[in-house]
Structure 1
Amino acid sequence: MSPHSSQSSNISMAMAAPFLLLLPFLLSILLLTSASPSTDVKPPAATITLPLSPLTKSHHKNPLQRLNHLASLSIARAHHLKHRHENHSSPTKAHLLARGYGGYSLSLSFGTPPQTLPFIMDTGSSLVWFPCTHRYVCNQCNFENVNPAKIPTYIPKLSSSVKILSCKNPKCRWVFGDVAPLNCTTETCPPYGLEYGSGSTSGLLLSETLRFPDKAVKGFVVGCSVFSSNQPSGIAGFGRGPESLPAQMGLKKFSYCLQSHDFDDKPKSSEMVLTGRSDSGDGETSGLSYTRFIKNKAASNSAFQEYYYVNLRKISVGGKHLKVPYRFLVPGSDGNGGTMVDSGTTFTFMEKKVFEVVAQEFTKQMANYSRATDVEKKTGLRPCYKFSEEKSVKYSELVFHFKGGAEMALPAADYFSIVDGLGAVCLTIVTDDDPDAPELAGGPSIILGNYQQQNIYLEYDLEKERLGFRKQICR
C-alpha cells in the first residue's frame, strides 16, 4: 500500500498518548461551535449511488519504483491486518475514483451546512474519520501534488449539528469497549489512535449528520482527526464493526465495480451503490455467483471479526487445481488462516507456502517465456517474464474456487501487470520472503486486494451474509 492507501485500524491509547497534549486545544476549538442537539434517528435508507474513483496520482513515475512501492506497501498492509489486535486499553450512489498509489476514494458530506471531503474506501477497517480543524497536522504527507497545508479538512465551528461524543454515550464503546479508561473521568469519549500499515491518525469522536442529496443520517459517529502520519485523506470504514458506515446506515448491502488503476491522471470513476433495508425486492442480483461470508470467531483476537472472510477452497492455474494445505484456507481455532476480501490492499497477499505453490505453477506453465529476473529484483514481484520479442503473451488463467461451487475467474490484467517501457509482465501477487517468518504467521493467509478486484462487480450482501460477484467492464 502507498501512504495514501487505507489500512485497517488498531485502536491504541498508547499511540494516542502524544495527542493528549493537544486535547485541551481541540476541545476549545470544538466547543466554539454553535452545535444544536442532534437526535440519533436513522431515516429510511433507500438506494444511494456514489462516485467511486481511482486515486490517480502516483509519487513514483518510474514504473519499477512504482511497482516496488506498491508491492512493499501491500506486504506492510498484510502485516498489519494479520497482526492487528483490538486494544481496549484505551439504492444511494457514490463515485469511486482509483488512485495511482493503489486505493479508491469517494466523497461524503458531513454537517449543517454540509462539508464535502474525499475518503479512502476501506473494507478492512470500520471507523469513518476525516482531517479536522484548521490546525490539522499531517506528517510525512509531502507527496507529489499533495501539499499538507492544503489538505481538505472538516471545520467543526461551521456546523450547527456537530456534538462531541460523550464518554457515557453507548456509541463511545463501539471503539473502546467496556474497559478502562472508560471510567468516564472526563465528559468526552477518550481520544482515539488508529494505526495503519503505512500511517496513523488520532483525534476525538464526534456525533454529526452524514448527508446525501435526498436524505440524512443523524447522530453518525465520525472521527475528528487532528494529527496524522502518511494519511492525507480521511478513511471511510466499510468493515463489519458497529462504527462502520454500512452498520450506522443500516444497509442491507453495498456494491461496487472497480475501474482499472492505470496509474495515470485520467478523470474517471465508477459507482458504489448503498442499499438500505427499506428497499423492496428479494435481494437477488441477476448474473451473480455467491459465496457465504464466514466469521473468524477467535477469542484471542476480536479484531479479526471485522474482516470479510470468504470460504476459499481451491486455487487453480491454467485449469490445474493446486495443492494448498487446508489450514491456510479456513481460520483455525486460533484465528489464523483463511481468506479475506480487502479494498485497502493493492496487490493480493498470500502466505509464502500458498504463494510458492501458485508461483511455481505459473513458472511451469509459462516456461516458454524468458524470465525477467532483473525486473523481479527491482519491482519485488515474481515471476516476471520478457515479452518484447513476442507478438503476444498467453497467460495461464487464475481461478478462485469457493465452497458451494462459486468460481471467480480473474481477467489476466488483474494478476499480471505490464512494466511500462521494459517489455516485461509481472505477477501482481505478493508474499513475505522473510526467512524467519513462521509458516502460518497469524491472521488471514490470503488477502484479496483491489488490484485483483478490478473489472469485477462485487456485492456485499450484509443481510444474507454473502459475497456476490461477476466479471464486468467497470465504467
Structure 2
Amino acid sequence: MLLLASSSPSVAPNPTAFTIPLINKHPSSDPIKTLKSLASASLTRAHHLKRPKSKPPLTETQVFSESYREYSISLSFGTPPQTIPFILDTGSSLVWFPCTSQYNCIFCGIDPSKIPSFIPELSSSSKFIGCQNPKCAWISNPNALSRCQDCKSSKNCSQTCPPYTYLYGSGGTYGRLLSDTLNFPEKLFTDFIVGCSNFSINIPAGIAGFGRTPLSLPSQLGLSKFSYCLISQRFNDTSESSDLVLYRGSSSDAKTPGLSHTRFRKNPAFPDFYYVDLLKITVGGESVSIPYKYLLSEGKNNGNGGTIVDSGTSFTVMATPIFDAVATAFEAEMGNFSRASADVVASTGLNLCFYITGLKLEKIKVPKLTFEFKGGAKLKLPVVNYFAPAVVGNSSLGCLTIVTDGALVPVGPAIILGNTQQQNFYVEFDLENERFGFRKQNCNK
C-alpha cells in the first residue's frame, strides 16, 4: 500500500512526502547458503556496474530461489491500477515490470506464470512510446532510432520506439517503453515512462531505478529527495518492512535532524551512479593506507575509482588494493584469532574469515570499521553490519561481509557501498542540494 504522509516538523512543512513500505526478503534459511549467494550476487553486480556495456556472465552466476531479491517496494500503474512488486535500485535508472501474461524468465527458479505481471490491455491509460517521441532516446541508442524507417516520411507515424535490452549484474530484461499512470492515493502521475518487459534472465521481479538519469523514478516524479532505512537482513528468512519516503517540492529549508552529510559527485562516465568522496577508512581507529587515486574518480583516470552508494548490491565491494589493505589491518587487530584457510573461506563465498571456535561473536572484540567522507561525515558501522558468524564443517568462523572483485586497478567505481553496510541507518539522498545524509537508527518498526 502507498500512503501519503504529512511532513513532520522535524523534516519540513512544504514538501509532500509519499511513504512506501520497503520489504526485505532472503533467499534461504541456511546462513552459509545465504552468505555465499549474497557474496556471489554482489560480485556479479559489481562486474556489471564497472563494465555496464559488457555481457553479464549469466552462466557463471550461482542461482538460488529468489536470489534476485534485495529490498522491494510495490507500485501501482494503470487505469484501473495494477499493483506490481519492484526491487529498489539506486544503481540503475529504468523502471520496468513484467508486462505480459506470457512473460518468460529463464534461470529464475520460479514458474513464470506465477510472476506478477502488468497487462497493458487492461489499462485504459497505457500506450507504447512512439519513434517520434524524444523520450525514446532516453534508453535507445541514437543509432537504434534509424530503425524507425516509417517515421522518416510520415507526420503521423505509428511505429513504436525500438525494443530495449537492459543489463544488470545478475541478468537482463527485454521489452518496449510504455507510458502509463503511476498511482499514489492522493496523487496521479500521468505519462510516466516505464519498461514493459516480456522476457528476462534471472530477474523475475520488476526493478525500480532510482539512479540519476531522466529515466529514473526520482527524475520523472521531480523528487527533491528520497530516504530509506534498511532493516537488518540477519541472513535468515524473515520478512519485515521499513519505509521508503519520496519528497516532492522544495526542500532547501528542510533539515532532517542528526544527519551527517557529504556532497554527491557526478561522474560523466557513469551518469546513473551516486558518487561520494570517501577520503579515509579506519580499522580499530587506525587509518588504512590506500592510494588516494583509488578513492576519488578523476578525469585523468577515465572516470575510474571513487565510491558509489548502491541499494542493489548486498555486500560492499572493493578493488583488490583497497580490500587487501583493509584485510591486513583487520588481521593485525584480530591478533588472538588466526585467519581461516583459503579452502574454508571459499565455502562462504567471502574473502576474509577468522576461526572463533567455542566463542560467540558478541563476545569477540572486533575492530571498529569507519568510513570517513569529505566534509567530515563519518559512517561508524556497527559490527553486525560488517562481521558475520558462519559455520563450515566443524569450524566456527567470523567473516568480513565486504568482498573484493579481484581488480588490481579499478575499472569503474573502486568501492561500491552495499546495502548490508547501510542497514539500520537512516539515509537520505538530497537531490535538490546534491548531498548524501545518514544517521544511525533502528529501522525495525
TM-score of the superposed pair, with normalisation by structure 2: 0.87
Identity over aligned residues, as a percent?
54
How far did 1:201 drift? 0.6
Residue deviations 1:62-109 (CA, integer Å, cap 9, x gap): 43333222212211111110111499xxxxxxxxxxx87661000000
Contact 1:103/1:120 (<8 A) preserved: yes
Residue deviations 1:402-456 (CA, integer Å, cap 9, x gap): 11111111111111112158532100111134xxx5x324100000001111111
Partner AA of 2:403 in structure 1: V
Relative to structure 1, the CA distance from residue 265 to residue 71 in structure 2 (aligned partners, 3 Å threshold; closer, same or farther) is closer
Give yes or no for the alignment of 1:78 onto 2:42.
no
Structure 1 equivalent of residue 132 of structure 2: 168
Give yes or no for the alignment of 1:258 onto 2:223.
no
Relative to structure 1, the CA distance from residue 222 to residue 234 in structure 2 (aligned partners, 3 Å threshold; closer, same or farther) is same
Partner AA of 2:21 in structure 1: P
Partner AA of 1:134 in structure 2: S
- Alpha-carbon separation, structure 2, partners of 1:197 and 1:375: 26
Give yes or no for the alignment of 1:413 onto 2:413.
no
Q: Residue 18 of structure 2 is aligned with which of 35, 48, 69? A: 48
Any residues of structure 2 matched to 1:162-201 within 5 Å, and which?
A: 162-176=126-140, 178-182=142-146, 184-186=148-150, 187-201=159-173
Q: Residue 401 of structure 2 is aligned with which of 428, 438, 441? A: 428
Relative to structure 1, the CA distance from residue 157 to residue 170 in structure 2 (aligned partners, 3 Å threshold; closer, same or farther) is same
How far did 1:45 drift? 7.4
Contact 2:46/2:405 (<8 A) preserved: no
Give yes or no for the alignment of 1:312 onto 2:313.
no
- Alpha-carbon separation, structure 2, partners of 1:239 and 1:256: 15
Unaligned runs of 5+ in 1: 1-43, 88-98
Residue deviations 1:280-331 (CA, integer Å, cap 9, x gap): 671211000000000113xxx3xx0110000001110010011110111111
Contact 2:30/2:236 (<8 A) preserved: no
Contact 1:65/1:378 (<8 A) preserved: no
Moved more, 244-253 or 263-272: 263-272
Give yes or no for the alignment of 1:453 onto 2:417.
no
Any residues of structure 2 matched to 1:334-349 within 5 Å, and which?
A: 334-349=302-317
How far did 1:469 drift? 0.3
- Alpha-carbon separation, structure 1, partners of 2:252 and 2:296: 33
Structure 2 equivalent of residue 26 of structure 1: none
- Alpha-carbon separation, structure 2, partners of 1:234 and 1:45: 28
Partner AA of 1:470 in structure 2: R
- Alpha-carbon separation, structure 1, partners of 2:133 and 2:294: 40
Give yes or no for the alignment of 1:107 onto 2:74.
yes
Any residues of structure 2 matched to 1:57-456 within 5 Å, and which?
A: 57-58=27-28, 61-85=29-53, 103-142=70-109, 146-176=110-140, 178-182=142-146, 184-186=148-150, 187-277=159-249, 282-297=253-268, 301=269, 304-333=270-299, 334-373=302-341, 374-390=343-359, 392-419=363-390, 423-433=396-406, 437=407, 439-456=408-425
Moved more, 146-155 or 397-406: 146-155
- Alpha-carbon separation, structure 1, partners of 2:280 and 2:133: 45
Contact 1:101/1:263 (<8 A) preserved: no
Moved more, 257-266 or 305-314: 257-266
Aligned length: 406
Relative to structure 1, the CA distance from residue 188 to residue 292 in structure 2 (aligned partners, 3 Å threshold; closer, same or farther) is same
- Alpha-carbon separation, structure 2, partners of 1:470 and 1:63: 28
- Alpha-carbon separation, structure 1, partners of 2:25 and 2:193: 26
Give the aligned CA root-mean-square deviation in angstroms.
2.0
- Alpha-carbon separation, structure 1, partners of 2:378 and 2:236: 31
Relative to structure 1, the CA distance from residue 348 to residue 245 in structure 2 (aligned partners, 3 Å threshold; closer, same or farther) is same
Residue deviations 1:365-392 (CA, integer Å, cap 9, x gap): 0021233325312113132122232351
Partner AA of 1:377 in structure 2: A
Partner AA of 1:366 in structure 2: M
Contact 1:102/1:346 (<8 A) preserved: no
Partner AA of 2:265 in structure 1: I
Relative to structure 1, the CA distance from residue 284 to residue 315 in structure 2 (aligned partners, 3 Å threshold; closer, same or farther) is same
Contact 2:93/2:216 (<8 A) preserved: yes
Partner AA of 1:221 in structure 2: I
TM superposition outliers: structure 1 runs of 4+ over 3 Å: 99-102, 177-180
- Alpha-carbon separation, structure 2, partners of 1:117 and 1:398: 38
Partner of 1:71: helix, strand, or coil?
helix
Contact 1:342/1:450 (<8 A) preserved: yes
Partner AA of 2:70 in structure 1: G
TM-score of the superposed pair, with normalisation by structure 1: 0.82
Contact 1:165/1:205 (<8 A) preserved: yes
Relative to structure 1, the CA distance from residue 474 to residue 132 in structure 2 (aligned partners, 3 Å threshold; closer, same or farther) is same
- Alpha-carbon separation, structure 2, partners of 1:100 and 1:176: 29
Contact 1:100/1:261 (<8 A) preserved: no
- Alpha-carbon separation, structure 1, partners of 2:142 and 2:201: 28
Partner AA of 1:416 in structure 2: F
Relative to structure 1, the CA distance from residue 411 to residue 101 in structure 2 (aligned partners, 3 Å threshold; closer, same or farther) is farther
Relative to structure 1, the CA distance from residue 110 to residue 45 in structure 2 (aligned partners, 3 Å threshold; closer, same or farther) is farther
Relative to structure 1, the CA distance from residue 100 to residue 185 in structure 2 (aligned partners, 3 Å threshold; closer, same or farther) is closer
Partner of 1:72: helix, strand, or coil?
helix
